Amino acid sequence: MPDESVIDLFRTDLAAAGIADRYQHDLYEQQGIEQLQEFLAGATQSRPDVLHTEEQFSVQVGPTTLVGRIDRIDRVAGDQVAIIDYKTGKPKSQEDADESLQLSLYALAVREKWGHAVDRLMFHNLEGNTAITTQRSEVELEEAKLRVEEVAEKIAAGEFKAKVGNHCFSCAYRGLCPYTEKRVPEIFAAVALQS
């Protein structure tokens, strides 16, 4: 597909997103076009063996079924593959990639669904057009499974303890969270202290 067609598709999708603030829309459009042009310039230089794009998966981890979608899977050699997850916004770091549960679960899914051995996992930051590469050992993949099982057990038991912090101010569930709600007695106590 010609580069201009890709950019036209991006403009169409962005218009359909319904961003009400014109300034925000124009900023996203400008940044998106710049990032796409940079990405496309690099993509024409290398010709990866792309096996799958936007591929959905369903994988069983203990009694829990995880469902997701992987951005891209490339053949490296033989049955060895690279998994690429594209990131917009703030670029991911090496530490983010090394500690990413998401990438670990992608590795498990690729092995289970397609039988591929995962050679490497990548976050491809569209801002700056950088690729951050990591790997997972068998021990790390088993640890990821244990984390999923532990979280699934807590969810099944109704244990949803909030991790309180500065992020609470922008959390979509702030109004429902018992840690951030204002209780009526607390409000009266605050008013009484001010009097």
Domain spans of the chain, in order of start = 1-46, 48-160, 162-195
Are 123 and 131 a contacting pair, CB within 8 Å? yes
| The model's pTM | 0.75
All residues at 6 or more sequence positions from 108 whose CB lies less than 8 Å from its CB, including other chains: 59, 61, 141, 144, 145
Residue 26 has what pLDDT? 92
Alpha-carbon distance of 86 to 100, in angstroms, equals 14
pLDDT at 48 over 70: yes
Only one residue has tokens 């979280």, namely: 151
CATH 3.10.20.600 fits 48-160, yes or no: no
Q: For the segment 96-138, what is each residue's pLDDT rounded down to a tens digit?
A: 999 999 999 999 999 999 999 999 999 999 988 899 999 999 9
Q: What residues are paired with 70 via a beta bridge?
A: 55
Instruction: Provide the 3-class DSSP secondary structure of residue 47.
Output: coil
